Each structure stands twice: as C-alpha cells, then as structure tokens.
Structure 1
Amino acid sequence: MQNIPSVDLRDFLSGDPERKQKFVNEIGKAYEDIGFVALKGHFLDDRLVDSLYTEVKNFFSLPVDIKEQYEIPGIGGQRGYVSFGKEHAKGRKEGDLKEFWHFGQYLDEGSKYENEYPANVEVKELPEFNKVGEEAYKMLEKTGVYVLRALAIYLGLDEFYFDKYAAEGNSILRPIHYPPITSEPDNAVRAAAHGDINLITLLMGAQGKGLQVQNHEGEWIDAIAEPDELVINVGDMLSRHTNNKLKSTIHQVVNPPRELWGTSRYSIPFFMHPVSEMKLDCLPNCIDAEHPKLYDDITAGDFLYERLVELGLIKK
C-alpha cells in the first residue's frame, strides 16, 4: 500500500476532457493534502533510466581526486560536483551524508540567460555521462511542464501560465550518492529534514525505504514509489506563490538500519526552477478573508540566493 497518492500523466494527455480533469483534481487535492504524488506515464523510458543510473554509478565510483577536479569554486555548487558533507539542511550545522552532481539548463545560443547560468561541466573520463544526463534532464523538464499545466488549471489560471517561467528556467538535475556508512553518524543523516526551494521536484529512485514525508499531524511516513513512477512534490516557491494552498512538505532521507550501512543509495531529483525574474507574489485568487496573504513579495532569483546562503553553498 502506497502512502502517497498515485496519478497517471496519461490521463492528462489523453485528449479526453473527463480524464484530463480527473488528473487535475487528483494532483491538486494531493498537493493540498500532503504535497507529494507518485506519477506514472512520464517521459522517461526504461532504457534512459537504466543508462542514467549506470553513468551516475560510474561517476561516483571514480577516485576522489578525479571527482574533486570537477568541483567548481565560486558558483555555489550550481554545476558539476559537490563533495561529501558539503551541504546541510537549513538551520543545521551537520553536513548531509551525501555527494552529488549538478546538470543545469541547456540554453540555445544567444539566450539572454547565457551570462546568468554557469556552463555545464563535461566529465572527460566518461564520454556517455553528459549525453545521458542531458537527455534525462530534457525528459524530466518536459514531464514537469505538463504537471505545472495541470496545477495551473487547478488554481484557476490559464493552462499555460507557468510555461513562460519554466522555459529556460534555472532547473537542476541532481544525481545523489549516499555512500556506505562506516561509523556511527554524529547527529548526521543522509538528508536532514527540509523543504525544497523550487516550484516542483521530480524524483527518480524512491523505490526503497529511506525517503520520508511529514504529514499534517507531524508524523513521518515512508514515501515509496513503484519502479515506473516518479515522486513529485511541491517546493517552497510554488507554495509561496499559491499562498500555501499547495503544500511544500517537509521530507528527509533517513539512515538505513545498521545491517544495511554497508550499502550505497542513489537518488536523482530534478529541481524545477523558474527563470529568476518570475515574481513569487501570492496569487490574488489564493488570498481571501480565511486565507490572508502569508508571504512578502520576492522574485525567484532573490529567493534562491537567500536559500543557497542558508544551505551553506554560498558564503556571504
């Protein structure tokens, strides 16, 4: 029994107005109730998923000194490698027990964001790594655009409201490696309790226990998806924009039981960000007498900068 609702994107894409509306209602209600769904019918096929996991495992198996050559100073970890323990949750000092890689947006030549986004980093030891990463990035981004279209309808907006913000958005594909745990962690977990920064997160690799979601009663529940499903959750930007109508749910990745300490865990989230100039001001149709405005006006770019400082990735 899954603890988070399962929805099928093929309903939205079916061309049948009733099936499309069914998907809109199901995903909207899930995001009001708990902020997470498991999604079938996305654009990642099995071949691409298998190729991506192979390349990701190959990269994290490289010697530490080679991986560290791909850690780029001065960009807040936005591209390339981020070494073990470097990132921590907001409000915590202990670094998370993980290392990760960042693929970023693929811009057309002459894009106005060319000078805003760092360039993607090429791993010369693994000729397929960047090619497979780019393909997965684009399929996850495509999936995310349709999810945002469904949410726009649910919110009473034009279906394509989010398209102009998602196109060329500052989205990130983050393959994560949680290495084997070799000694008693000192108050550290694989990923401490946090909310995501972005609009929505699309997660590959939630097939085993580890990812937990906090419900409205404050209880931690396991978020486990089927192998053909992505777990998709609301991030803080979308929660803020909807005046908390759609919930950004606190979640964590807990350490495994001691008998599994010797195993690695991999997960691959796609953090869907808008372009930096998007205003995250609370939508007027999400504010009323019972739901007063909760947040100050801010742009996505300013909000992201604040959070990267809080996470320890940018030093002020």
Structure 2
Amino acid sequence: MTAETSSVPIVDFAGWSANTSNEQRKEVANQLVEACRNVGFVYIINHNVAPNRLAEAFGWSKKLFDLELKQKMLAPHPEGYTVHRGYSWPGLEKVSNAMGDEEDEDLTKNLRQVSDVKESYEIGSESNRDQPNQWLPEHVLPGFRSFMTDFYWECHGAAETILSAMALGIGLSNENHFKPSHPGHNNQLRLLHYPPVPAAKIESQSATRMGAHSDWGSITMLFQDDCGGLQIENPHKPGEFIDVPPLKDAIVMNVGDLMMRWSNDSLKSTVHRVTLPPRQDRFTGDERMTRARYSIPYFVSPEGQSVIECLPSCADEKRPVKYKPIVWDDYRLMRASMQYETKPEETAVGA
C-alpha cells in the first residue's frame, strides 16, 4: 500500500496562505474537517515545516539515540508521571488506552507485563515551569538543544495554521478561536526510536512497539521516516487496523481526545498503534528482525487550566452536548498515571 492508496485523505495546504482567496482557504478547511470527521487522520502536504528542517531533525534524532545509554541517561525522564520530559529508556513507558488514576496499581502492573520496545526523548517550551526540560550537557551533543528549541517553535507555527483551518471548517466565526488557549507553551516535541527487535516477539505479542491508544490533547502532528508500521483503527470496522504508509515530508495529523470533546464527537480521536513494519532489513542467524524506526510526533495542547467544553457550532437540538467540561491538566494527569509507574524499576535502565 502507498500513501496514495491509503484510506487516509491527503490535504494540500498550499491553498492556505495570506496570498490565497477566502474561497481557497475555505476549501482547505472543509477538506481538513471532512477528513477529521470521517477518519480522524489526514496527511497534510505543503505545510509550514521545511523539508530541509525535517531532514535535520531526523539527523539529530539518530545522533541522539546512537549515544551510549550512560550518555542518554544524563537527561533522564523524571521519576513518576507528572513531568514528561527528557530521555525514556526501553521499558519505562507503557502506552495504552487505559483510563485511571494513580490508585490503579494492579491495572498498571498488568499492562506492563508486555513491554513497549522503544525509547524516546521529550522536549517542551523553555517557559513551561510545570514541565521543565531535561537537557543533555552541551558537550555530549553540541548544537542539539539549540536546534530542537527552534524546531519546537517551527512545529508550533504549523500547528497554529492547522488549528485555524480546523476552526473555520467546523463553523466557528473566528478562525483564530483556538489561538488564545494554544500559545505553544504546553506542547510536546517527541523524538522516538524503535530499535530492531525479533519480529516473532511482536507477532506473539510478548512485546509491542506501541499499543493501541488515542492521543490526549488537541491535535498531533507526526513526521515519519520511510520504515512504516503505523496503523489506525478502521473507522468502518472497529477492531480492524489499516496501514498509514509514510509519505515523504508530509505531516500525519490526527485529532486528539480534547478536540473530540470540544467538537461534541463531530471530529474523531482515532485509536492507533505501531506494529511490525512492512519489511524487515536483516536476520540474526535464522531470526527475522524488525527494521529500526524513527518518528517525530508533536503533541499540541492548550494551557493547563483550559476548560474543555462543547464549542458553540457543535451542538444544537439534534446534537445535545455529550461531555461535561473538564480541565486539561486534570485529564492529562489521569492519562499519564497509567503510562509511568510512580517509581521506575531500576532494572529498566539496563533493558
């Protein structure tokens, strides 16, 4: 399957700029929202993040994950789940769609019986005091901090454009409706590396890449390498998953839980996962190994105390409001409590 034959639509943002007509902008907005209503995922091409900057970002990501473990551990993910920054080693995080809180110890332990074979590095705004960045010492990877700080805000610029088009497409009177609640300081840039693993472990479900889950925030923007392995739940056949093949330099954008609540379920927060890539690149003896995979998601979220309640254009007599208002920080912490143990196991560092 290629991106062109995927069930995920492609939307060209070349028609959304200061130089295009209102009709062109409206067409882009309608295409975007239509994809978000029907699938919840969309490829976006001709966006604001330049291809050369994407190539640099993937280059820095590979340099980071090629470091020795003891070097990466100079910027470890803080203990517990309240701060999501720095380096997460294989086995530390367990992604799922479980809902709960910090009291659900048995559920957390059961989820962790099958570990996620991945490592990541989380970066946020330098102005976010609630989630301070955990940077490597400059001498370990010179230039990394400077590039990633700039790239973070370049991604935010693309996110602002997408949110503006989404606001117009769902019928809000002001295309900048989401801008005040999304100044960018609560977003998260994530570098992800899935190292090679025996394919049999994934096939037997004794290990996973990343389990089926929905994203928590407003929207997610994902940049993929050419490996593949991303799948989404078929919107027409629950429980069946379909591929989202890589499309060079495109953003794979998906709706998060908050946007689904804001839109009164008009827009879909679709469950997705990472599994075996379409092809493997090497054998160890007779053992088939997965390819290494790199991806860069950018999670877009409002300010922590933002109240998420139904948008005025998304409810009427035929569409009553489905959700009670929630505060973003409360929802984030509830979801995060299921992904990180309160005290990471010491043995995980050597995994």
Q: TM-score, normalised by structure 2?
A: 0.82
Following superposition of structure 1 onto structure 2, how do residues 152-167 of structure 1 map, counting pairs within 5 Å? Answer: 152-157=167-172, 158-167=174-183
How far apart are residue 257 of structure 1 and its match?
A: 6.0
**Matched residue of 1:173: which SS?**
strand
In structure 2, the partner of 1:55 is: 60
Amino acid at match of 2:212: A
**Matched residue of 2:16: which SS?**
helix
In the alignment, structure 1 residue 95 sits paired with structure 2 residue 101: no
In the alignment, structure 1 residue 248 sits paired with structure 2 residue 269: yes
* Pairing partner for 1:42 from 39, 47, 56: 47
Contact 2:124 2:186 in 1 (8 A): yes
In structure 2, the partner of 1:80 is: 86
Alignment CA distance shift 1:188-1:278 (3 Å): same
Amino acid at match of 1:6: I
Amino acid at match of 1:80: G
In structure 2, the partner of 1:111 is: none
In structure 1, the partner of 2:161 is: 146
Alignment CA distance shift 1:34-1:262 (3 Å): closer
In structure 2, the partner of 1:70 is: 75
**Matched residue of 1:174: which SS?**
strand
Contact 2:152 2:189 in 1 (8 A): yes
Amino acid at match of 2:149: E
In the alignment, structure 1 residue 115 sits paired with structure 2 residue 120: no
**Matched residue of 2:163: which SS?**
helix
Q: Which runs of 5 or more structure 1 residues have no equivalent in the other structure? A: 108-113
In the alignment, structure 1 residue 211 sits paired with structure 2 residue 230: yes
Instruction: Say how many residue pairs are matched.
Output: 309
Contact 2:123 2:133 in 1 (8 A): no
Cα distance in 2 between the residues matched to 1:220 and 1:90: 15
In structure 2, the partner of 1:270 is: 298
Contact 2:80 2:340 in 1 (8 A): no
In structure 2, the partner of 1:110 is: none
Cα distance in 2 between the residues matched to 1:105 and 1:143: 16
In structure 2, the partner of 1:294 is: 322
Cα distance in 1 between the residues matched to 2:246 and 2:21: 26
Q: TM-score, normalised by structure 1?
A: 0.91
Cα distance in 2 between the residues matched to 1:206 and 1:222: 14
Amino acid at match of 1:170: N
Q: Which runs of 5 or more structure 2 residues have no equivalent in the other structure? A: 99-110, 282-288, 344-351
Amino acid at match of 1:5: P
**Matched residue of 1:175: which SS?**
strand
Q: Which has the higher contact order (CA 8 A, sep 6+)?
A: 2
In structure 1, the partner of 2:213 is: 194
Contact 1:206 1:231 in 2 (8 A): no
Amino acid at match of 1:104: G
Contact 2:225 2:294 in 1 (8 A): no
How far apart are residue 139 of structure 1 and its match?
A: 1.3
Contact 2:72 2:87 in 1 (8 A): yes
Alignment CA distance shift 1:106-1:69 (3 Å): closer
* Pairing partner for 2:27 from 22, 27, 42: 22
Contact 2:213 2:271 in 1 (8 A): yes
* Pairing partner for 1:229 from 228, 243, 250: 250
Contact 2:220 2:256 in 1 (8 A): yes
Cα distance in 1 between the residues matched to 2:135 and 2:188: 13
**Matched residue of 1:90: which SS?**
coil
Cα distance in 1 between the residues matched to 2:319 and 2:339: 30
Cα distance in 2 between the residues matched to 1:2 and 1:262: 22
Alignment CA distance shift 1:252-1:183 (3 Å): closer
Amino acid at match of 1:154: G
Amino acid at match of 2:123: F
Cα distance in 1 between the residues matched to 2:277 and 2:133: 35
How far apart are residue 312 of structure 1 and its match?
A: 2.5
* Pairing partner for 2:14 from 7, 10, 13: 10
Amino acid at match of 1:226: L
Cα distance in 2 between the residues matched to 1:174 and 1:196: 13
Which has the higher Rg, Structure 1 or Structure 2?
2
Cα distance in 1 between the residues matched to 2:166 and 2:199: 44
Alignment CA distance shift 1:138-1:232 (3 Å): same
CA displacement 1:68-100 (0-9 Å, x = unmatched): 221142363511101112221133333321100
Contact 1:70 1:81 in 2 (8 A): yes
Q: CA RMSD in A?
A: 2.0
**Matched residue of 1:201: which SS?**
strand
How far apart are residue 65 of structure 1 and its match?
A: 1.6
Amino acid at match of 2:23: E
Contact 2:223 2:297 in 1 (8 A): yes
